[in-house]
A and B are shown apart, each in its own frame.
Chain A
Amino acid sequence: NAGVTQTPKFQVLKTGQSMTLQCAQDMNHNSMYWYRQDPGMGLRLIYYSASEGTTDKGEVPNGYNVSRLNKREFSLRLESAAPSQTSVYFCASSAPIAGDNEQFFGPGTRLTVL
């Protein structure tokens, strides 16, 4: 099992450009998440998907959109990138059953917006 995979690993954009970050998991998990991590801060939730076909906003959703394409894949889109979106983006998945809220993370995408 590869676990959670993310592409690309690195990306540089100019202000105003758009891009989509891809995430896939092979653990048959129902829930998937997108976080951003900024220096000196913990991870902050952007969007999550509790199951295929549903998405909900997290703590910092502005400037992002998501698509839960199927059970395996959850993508994050920046329609018009801004320098404030320079960050490391992590995708995670979990299989919330009774008492099990453990999230497993991908390796991250390092995004720089110039």
Chain B
Amino acid sequence: GQQLNQSPQSMFIQEGEDVSMNCTSSSIFNTWLWYKQEPGEGPVLLIALYKAGELTSNGRLTAQFGITRKDSFLNISASIPSDVGIYFCAGFQTGANNLFFGTGTRLTVIP
């Protein structure tokens, strides 16, 4: 399957700090999705991106579809304790039938 590389693998930040994470691939994707997964739960969709260069926000979250179509970025501003979880990127290619997932960024917010 396609390899999506997420970085960093984990982050420990202070409440109130901003967070940045990214996802890269050697292949082009036509859709990028960002999910959050909390312990014992399924992934929850945060943001969907459909056009190269697109910048989309959802509250304190902002994601961008990289101009090369091989990467995507997620930023969280003014982090709060409930932001704790694992954030996954996922990409979709035209002609494929499934999403490819990154290995996740585990976020810990220290109050």
Which residues of A are at the interface with B, using a C-beta cutoff of 8 A? 4, 33, 40-45, 48, 50, 56, 58-59, 90, 92, 99, 101-108
Contact = CB atoms under 8 A, between A and B. Distances in A.
Nearest to A101: B92
B73 interface: no
Contacts, number: 57
A99 B50 contact: yes
- Identify whether the interface residues of A are mostly helix, strand, loop, or mixed: loop
Interface residues of B, number: 24
B98 A42 contact: no
B31 to A, nearest CB: 5
A90 B42 contact: yes
A1 to B, nearest CB: 15
Contacts of B35: 105
Given A44-B1, A102-B33, A58 B42 contact: no
B80 interface: no
Contact of A59 (B1, B48, B102): B1
Contact of A105 (B40, B42, B48): B42
B97 interface: yes
